Structure 1
Amino acid sequence: MKISVIGSGYVGTTIAACFADLGHEVVNIDVDADVVETINTGETPIHEEGLPDLLEKHAGDDGTGRLRATTEYDALLETDVTFLCLPTPQYDDGSIDLSIVETGAEQLGETLQRKSDWHTVVVKSTVVPGTTDEVLTPVIESASGRTAGEGLGVGMNPEFLREGTAVADFLDPDKIVLGADDDRARRDMRAVFAPLEEQADAPVVETDTRTAEMIKYANNAFLAAKVSLINDIGNICKEFGIDAYEVADAIGLDDRISDQFLRSGVGWGGSCFPKDVAAIIAAAEANGYEPPVLEAAVELNDRQPERLLELLDAHVDVDGERVAVLGLAFKPGTDDTRNSRAIEVIEGLEARGARVVGYDPVATENMRARFPDIDYAESAAAALEDAVGAVVVTGWDEFAALDDEFAAMKTPVVVDGRRIVEPTSEITYEGLTW
């Protein structure tokens, strides 16, 4: 099929490349000319494992030609299905800002005025239940002069892509959720995903748009709550001198629990869990219900960075001293620092008067934009030199190999928020929840 993807962020660029790899002809539409040029040269605008290979294979002069990028919305006129992959930022109250995706939907609708054939629009952006049929569909209808179900199909296809493994998650999904309120839109969506369904043998969930929207939020809210729960259990284990990971290994053998998301530590961050949990809480409260479990999950998650720093306080006074923060991205495998636990850790160290030096294999420049005045090291070893303490915030594999590097510290105190460093007799080691 011929597919257009509006938006070239983590989701848009990834699905565009993956759709091309499945054999579709894809055009990626974005307002950022620099991003468009980057994709057309076969290079990636984001750090994502596997994505450079797909873009080199399908975009650029030496690619298959199945993927190209442009700033022109008119390009969607030659396609059958358009995916809306635009950001929905978070307001201070947790609700989502729909202005960007509404603007994109309006421009999409205005462009469709110049097309006579049927066109299906699939919302890929994460939006609260009711947004597709109550907000975005009317915008597209008004701008295009069409009616949904009559010349225009509208569907909802939530994404379940984890940064760092987004390509693998797309090509080998746990499930494919297709939400639509008319049969033709559903058929078009099924045709788009047919090659993936055949290749991955993934279960397909067909439902309405509102339920599809809720599945995305329920999925992330459940996982976030599971992380907060194991962190709560880990905090209790810490008080009793028990290894929380040994406990987690045992309870993970119960197939009702499973061993996934049982790695206790400094908490969850990123662009999805914080925003999605806050958004569904705000949406629920707007409808008169306060979700106590999700509110508690957020509260506990917000406390974990301070617990990490309190363990450091128990060993050293950091006022005026150098402290290494190892890991700045919100998780390994990505350069994304949005809602990284390192942000709260750095702020807490600065409040204590520490001289902070940060290190991350790929995320330094992104964190520098937020904290331009702290020091940044070129390696973990350089960050540790002359530091009175080190806190591990991101579980990069290279931190597991650290050993002799700790000898260069002024006082070898290591507080590990991800259980990645090997404890030895040469360092004073504290795990966050063990």
Structure 2
Amino acid sequence: MRIVMIGTGYVGLVSGACFADFGHHVTCVDKDKSKIDALLDGRIPIFEPGLDALVEANVEAGRLSFTLDIAEVLPHADAVFIAVGTPSRRGDGHADLSYVYAAAAEMAPLLRDGAVVVDKSTVPVGTGDEVERIIAETSPGLKFSVASNPEFLREGAAIDDFKHPDRVVIGVNDDHAEQVLQEIYRPLTRNESPILSMSRRAAELTKYAANAFLATKISFINEIADLCEKVDADVSDVAKGIGLDSRIGSRFLQPGPGYGGSCFPKDTLALLQTGQQYGAVLQIVQSVVDVNNRRKMAMGQKVIDAMGGDVAGKTVALLGLTFKANTDDMRDSPAIDIAKALQEAGITVRAYDPEGMETSRAVIEGLTYCENSYDAMTGADAAVIVTEWDAFRALDLVRAREVLNDPLLVDLRNLYSRTDVEKQGLRYVAVGR
């Protein structure tokens, strides 16, 4: 299959490289010249484990290429995937679909008869209808299909998720679109990955429903963690006790500083807006959003309380800036709210993250960036683990105690046991324990 991927962001680049690895001929298109120049030069603009090697191998094999010129490649495409950003619109939480609709308008006069246009971006219910209308009005008489194929990729494990998915969801309103997408994903049938075919609108909603449900599990266990602290119970025991129930499952039951990233925050807001648009009250989703917002703001105060409350002039070592490990993504990271709360209390923040410091510079002002964990902790009055990077799972606690001005470890990811930390002479504050 000849595939064009519009957008070389996280979803577009990972999907394009994986499709090429399946044996398809893929061209990734972007308007950002700096991105295309970097990719042509062999440089990957995002951090994702294994992506650089995957891109390099498929470029060398002649199956993956990059261009700024959409007119050069679109007329030959069997399928065109739209993988552009759909950020939350300022002020109202609606998904900003301007990039999706602009892509539809630009591709319309270039499509060949029989082409299938696929929304890979996360888009609200009815977006496919509008994409179809735009193309039909721009190119009357063109025979084409519009489908939905939402992605379910975890940052940090995206390649494995793409090649060994729990399921592939394709939303189609005609047989031709289904046949094309079934052929594109046919290599996955060897892994016995189920390919679920449904209506286009059902597929669009499936993505939002999945992310809202996972966000619900996170907010739920964070509230239970707060209760555990009040009643002298360990949330780790509670999470294991309920997670072993096959009806519940153990994933996304790790308490922490709240969810962030490119998906959950904007997708829950967009789902709420869809509910309002169609007159459906989504009270649980609204509560999840509210709980998470309070959670991220409360974590800064948790650190301040652990330090005794009188913190003006003190220093904190912030270990981790990205919203999760194995990514450089800072979007809606809890570290942003934590750092700002500490700074507003008069605390100097020294920070270290294995991959996120360059991204962080554009998001958080006033941080002192350090070379490693121990550099960040040197002279600090507390060390705070914000992100669950492997680099923070086996800290030399003796060395940490020696370089810290005050031997306090605030572990917002519960990476350590209280016994191990206190045995090395540090005070330990965790979540839900």
Shift of 1:105: 0.9
Query: What does the per-residue CA deviation read over 1:234-285, in whole Å, with 9 as the maximum and x for residues that have no partner?
Result: 1111111211001111111110011111101111100100000010011102
Aligned counterpart, 2:220? 229
Shift of 1:307: 3.2
Any residues of structure 2 matched to 1:1-400 within 5 Å, and which?
1-59=1-59, 63-74=60-71, 75-91=73-89, 92-112=91-111, 115=112, 117-133=113-129, 135-146=130-141, 151-198=143-190, 200-316=191-307, 317-400=310-393
Residues 259 and 315 of structure 1: is their aligned pair in 2 closer, same or farther, counting only changes over 3 Å? closer
SS at match of 2:187: helix
Q: Which amino acid aligns with 1:18?
A: C
Identical-pair percentage: 39
Tell me, in whole angstroms, the C-alpha distance in 2 between the residues paired with 1:141 and 1:163. Answer: 35
Tell me, in whole angstroms, the C-alpha distance in 1 between the residues paired with 2:201 and 2:83. Answer: 17
Which of 396, 399, 402 in structure 2 is aligned with 1:407?
402
Query: What does the per-residue CA deviation read over 1:347-402, in whole Å, with 9 as the maximum and x for residues that have no partner?
Result: 11111111111110000011111224221111111111111112211011111111
Moved more, 7-16 or 27-36: 27-36
Tell me, in whole angstroms, the C-alpha distance in 1 between the residues paired with 2:140 and 2:371. Answer: 56
Contact 1:311–1:430 under 8 Å retained in 2: no
Q: Which amino acid aligns with 2:178?
A: R
Compute the RMSD of aligned alpha carbons.
1.3
Aligned counterpart, 1:427? 426
Tell me, in whole angstroms, the C-alpha distance in 1 between the residues paired with 2:297 and 2:100. Answer: 36
Contact 1:81–1:120 under 8 Å retained in 2: yes
State the aligned residue count: 423
SS at match of 1:378: coil
Shift of 1:132: 0.7
Contact 1:27–1:76 under 8 Å retained in 2: no
Tell me, in whole angstroms, the C-alpha distance in 2 between the residues paired with 1:387 and 1:98. Answer: 45
Moved more, 209-218 or 241-250: 241-250
Q: What stretches of structure 2 of length at least 5 have no aligned partner? A: none
Q: What stretches of structure 1 of length at least 5 have no aligned partner? A: none
Shift of 1:422: 4.6
> Normalization by structure 1: what TM-score?
0.95
Contact 2:300–2:337 under 8 Å retained in 1: no
Contact 1:121–1:155 under 8 Å retained in 2: yes
Q: Which amino acid aligns with 2:168?
A: I
Contact 1:400–1:422 under 8 Å retained in 2: no
Tell me, in whole angstroms, the C-alpha distance in 2 between the residues paired with 1:197 and 1:82. Answer: 22
Shift of 1:321: 1.1
Contact 1:85–1:123 under 8 Å retained in 2: yes
Moved more, 405-414 or 251-260: 405-414
Tell me, in whole angstroms, the C-alpha distance in 2 between the residues paired with 1:371 and 1:264. Answer: 24
Tell me, in whole angstroms, the C-alpha distance in 2 between the residues paired with 1:37 and 1:64. Answer: 19
Shift of 1:31: 0.7
> Normalization by structure 2: what TM-score?
0.95
Q: Which amino acid aligns with 1:83?
A: F
